Amino acid sequence: MAEPAALRAMRSGDANVGTSPTGRLRERDAIGSSIAVRDAVKRYGSFHAVDQISIDIEPGEFITLLGPSGSGKTTLLNLVAGFQSLDSGEILVDGKPVHNVPTHKRGFGMVFQSYALFPNMTVSQNVAFPLRMAGVDRATAERRVAETLEIMRLTEHATKSPSQMSGGQQQRVAIARAIVRRPKVVLMDEPLSALDRRLREQIQIEIRDLHRTIGSTILFVTHDQGEALTMSDRIAVLNAGKIVQIGRPLDIYRHPIDRFVASFVGESNLIEAEILQKRGSTLTMKSRTGYVFNAESRDTIDVGRATVLVRPERIAVSNEPTANSAPVSVTSAIFLGEILRIEAQMEGGEPLLIRCTDMADRPLPTVGDRLHVSWGAADCWVLA
Amino acid sequence: MTSASIGVQADRPADLDLVRRLRDPALLLVPALAFLAFIYLLPLIDLIRISVSGPSWSSYFERVFAIPLYWDSLVRTMQISVTVAGLCLLFGYPTALLIHRSRGLAQALIATAIVLPYFIAILIRTYAWMVLLGRNGPVNKLLVSIEILSEPVQLLFNRGTVLLGMTAVLLPLMVLTIYSSVARLDQSLTRAALASGAGPIAAFWRVMLPLTLPGMGAGFLLVFVAAIGFFITPTLLGGPGDQMFAMHITQQADSVTSEGFLQALGVVLLTITLAVVAVAGRFLGFEFIWGGRKLTEATPGKTDLRAADGSRRSLGASAADVIGWPLLRLFGRLPASCGTWTVRIMGGLVIAILILPIIVVMIISFSSASYLTFPPPGFSLRWYEQFFSDSNWMRAFWTSLVVAAMSAGIAIVLGASAALGIVRSSIRGKSAIMLLLVSPIIVPPVVLGLSLYSLFLRFDLVGSVFGLAAAHAIGGLPIVVVILSASLQGVDARLEQAAAVHGASSLTVFRLVTLPAIMPGLAAATFFAFLHSFDELVLTLFLSSAELKTLPLMLWGDINYRLNPVLAVVSTLEVLLVVAGLVLARPVLATSRKAT
């Protein structure tokens, strides 16, 4: 795919692009800021919306705040944006405290769930707005707007009014407005949740590519775990006003810290089991139903009972018993296209969710069928 | 089942067609339209007919414009109305912002301070200003005590008090109109402006102000149109040099000789009002009158409008660029708290202006003095005793209750069926019909009273309770139609479909789903229609007789002859009535605000 000229110019750090009188907008500055939140607290009455959150975000990082509604993710974003003020704690951008700086002087870009395009302005006027507010001269502003519109493939819509555009186009305008100043930090508040699935996936990719191009630090809020996994450098999972776990998508998915993260991110089987023996980081465990298996764990766990996470796609299924397999009976089986989603019961009645790829020699099981399942030590993760 | 119904259809297709026609909800519009045609349109047409019945069609109008008294008065009316609308806009906008920006209890209190006066009779609010500014009133007392004045002076009966009184009376209308356009804005727009680097003042100037411009326009025009027809406030607060046009009509109405000339005066006032509304409706859409949204879906002319919008916007934008940006940089230097404090101070002033007179009057009603003075020398219930023991006051009170109850009954029956008709039918010209139903709001009451007077004379209705109730229902009907069509539109059509799918007949659906959903609206509409009639004075001045006196009429007579604390008692009772009504209607208002 041919890359727009403007995009190439941006990536090569073309120094003559957008030199403003204040020098604020020089291209080589357009690398993200670090953000540090320290012991941030925001209360509404007795409700702690944000409860002692601390997080360090690297320059240029794409970080996602993931959590159910009411978990405090949007409040945290609003605190960083400056729409709400901290009850205690501090927020540092590039090491400088900003929590007493008003929003409009923080110099961030922001994309809103409702797009929030100014209905009284055209597309290009919307995109030019942050530049005008920064006092950029007209010629420079026009050139920058044109570049940004080209990157977002909106050039032919420049003179339209936002209400004449589709949801996806409106959101691209909103993104253009957020990045036109090459801000060091871009905040995104569930920007894709109003779009349908296909558009959402398309714009997810666009945002990721854009992030690589402009190098800003992106703080992205979503309740969609799939979105978080595909887009982020790191994910911070929030629950009840606290960060439960922070890490790379793969780590969050494979090694969740507790039941909440395990069940909120991806589908999961959580099996209660007794620890029989420990050898290195490998535990030998026995489930309530008597199935004995090995599992990988952190070092800290040794005896007693524990919850074991087994992802549905890690379970091996066969029609005949194999070495160390357990029998299950099928309670439901759904054909989802490339995979089968099977719900089954182990012999003690414990439910088990299985996802396996569709294969020619595997007919769709019917309710009541007996199957044999097994998993290896590396396929399980022992939770605290 | 299908075969049977097909059989029936084949047998009697004509009957079925008739049944279908009789079930058309559009028929529900007929009673209200017939009512308005007879008691509202017909008299107005008659008024116009008489006004052109002179030797030549224009002879009466020539007389109106030939006499300097009337021409001057017309010019003065325009000046006063524009000034009042301007003042209302200037003070109303910050107040609307103040409501929008405050939260929780503060918001509820401020909103109540605005809404409460809105429902109190103009007569009573004007009376409160007379008390406040009178020789023994608190303002004079205060000025003397801090030695700005050496002795009390006459503060009343000049242009200043007329402007103050009219602005105070009309401010709630402005605030509520602007508030509805401010509240409708997506809150994240302001946030987006802030996040884009715009300071609070720039965000207001570039985003908030342009987007609320239509609301400001609507508020300005509504206040202007109301002010043109104003009669009570300028009569009571103005001096001889502050005569407004509507006042001439009531003065001339007593003399028989001015037949034709009188009607011409009315037609002039009506024409100006309608012309302003027509021009405003052309730009804002006629929905501005009732503060609603378009009833009809996408109109075919929409794309043209949009294109026109585009060119106008770019013109406006370039103007804003030339003037706005330098100004903005200048303002941008001001500390951000300037804007906040402007809003707070002006909003606070407005609330004081709206609430203080009412409080003063309520305190004076408990005065022990036999004349109006503030602070009262002592407290007693003597004026309450006098009010409740005076048979004239009590008779007027009961007359008002009966008339208001009947009027509310007429308005609610006609209005509810009309609202159903307009929301549920699919006839063409809905906007025009809605406009007709709501138009009595904008016709100056003086003109309406004048036109009804000849109708009532002809049918010998002057002084009849039913006639008066029907006349009051002309103004009650729009209130009911607006409230109920809004609540009907708020009814989730899927709920009704769900009930129908599960076997409910259309009548059952109405009883079990629709009626409960609009019940709060119905209650509010009934109350407001009742209050409209209970407070009505101008029509009553034309249509009552010596035997049929309502409470506002008694008040009017007493204010003109003797200004004693009994009036304060009546005012206090009215305020309590409105407060009780608002408390009862509070859940309704809360939900309807969510819906609109």
* CATH number for the domain formed by residue range(s) B25-56+381-596: 1.10.3720.10
May I ask the CATH class of domain A268-383? mainly beta
Cβ-in-10-Å burial (0-12, 13-18, 19+) of A142 comes to middle
Position B336 scores a pLDDT of: 64
Show which of residues 166-225 on chain B sit within 8 Å of chain A, judged by CB atoms: 186, 188-189, 191-200, 202-203, 206-207, 210-211
> Do the Cβ atoms of B188 and A113 come within 8 Å?
yes
Residue A75: list chain B partners with CB under 8 A.
none
> Do the Cβ atoms of A82 and B194 come within 8 Å?
yes
Residue A342: φ, ψ to 5°: -115, 130
Summarize pLDDT for A230-275 with one digit per residue, the tens. Answer: 999 999 999 999 999 999 999 999 999 899 999 999 899 998 888 8
Q: Which of B188, B197, B313 has its CB closest to that of A114? A: B188
- Look at residue B592 and tell me whether its pLDDT is greater than 80: no
Residue A82: list chain B partners with CB under 8 A.
194
Position B16 scores a pLDDT of: 66
Structure tokens given for A115: 């797009």
The CATH architecture assigned to A5-254 reads: 3-Layer(aba) Sandwich (3.40)
Residue B203: list chain A partners with CB under 8 A.
104
> Do the Cβ atoms of A108 and B195 come within 8 Å?
yes
* Closest approach of B298 to chain A, Cα-based (Å): 14
| Residue environment code for A82-108, b if the CB has 16+ CB neighbours within 10 A, otherwise e | bbbebeebebbbeeeebbeeebbebbb
- Tokens 């026009």 locate to A142
Residue A179: list chain B partners with CB under 8 A.
none
Residue, of B409 and B11, whose pLDDT is higher: B409
CATH superfamily of B58-253+338-380: MetI-like (1.10.3720.10)
Confidence of residue A24 (pLDDT cuts 50, 70, 90): very low
Give the integer Cα–Cα distance in Å for A120 and A167. Answer: 17
Cβ-in-10-Å burial (0-12, 13-18, 19+) of B5 comes to exposed
The residues of chain B that CATH labels 1.10.3720.10 are 25-56+381-596, 58-253+338-380
> Do the Cβ atoms of A109 and B306 come within 8 Å?
no
Give the integer Cα–Cα distance in Å for A315 and B474. Answer: 76
Which pairing describes strands A234-239 and A62-66: parallel, antiparallel, or unpaired? parallel
Structure tokens given for B217: 């326009």
Q: Which of B199, B202, B310 has its CB closest to that of A161? A: B310
Give the integer Cα–Cα distance in Å for B376 and B363. Answer: 8
Position B180 scores a pLDDT of: 87
> Do the Cβ atoms of A102 and B210 come within 8 Å?
no
CA nearest neighbour of B519 among B577, B418, B588: B588
Residue B206: list chain A partners with CB under 8 A.
118, 129
Q: Which of A110, A117, A134 has its CB closest to that of B195? A: A110
> Do the Cβ atoms of A102 and B197 come within 8 Å?
no
Query: How crowded is residue A155: how many other Cβ atoms within 10 Å of its Cβ?
Result: 16
Residue B207: list chain A partners with CB under 8 A.
118, 120
Residues in chain A whose Cβ is within 8 Å of chain B? 81-83, 102-105, 107-110, 112-114, 116-122, 125, 129-130, 132-135, 159, 161, 164, 174, 177-178, 181, 187
The lowest-confidence range among A273-287, B383-397, B451-465, B489-503 is B489-503
Residue A108: list chain B partners with CB under 8 A.
195
**CB-based contact A123:A173 (threshold 8 Å):** yes
Residue, of A206 and A7, whose pLDDT is higher: A206
* Closest approach of B284 to chain A, Cα-based (Å): 15
Residue A113: list chain B partners with CB under 8 A.
188
Contact partners, residue A234, CB within 8 Å, separation at least 6: A61, A62, A63, A64, A246, A247, A248, A249
Contact partners, residue B440, CB within 8 Å, separation at least 6: B36, B40, B448, B474, B475, B477, B478
Summarize pLDDT for B97-113 with one digit per residue, the tens. Answer: 999 888 888 888 888 88
The secondary structure of residue A282, as a DSSP letter, is E
Summarize pLDDT for B33-54 with one digit per residue, the tens. Answer: 999 999 999 999 999 998 888 8
* Closest approach of B206 to chain A, Cα-based (Å): 9
What number of residues does chain B have? 596
ipTM of the complex: 0.74
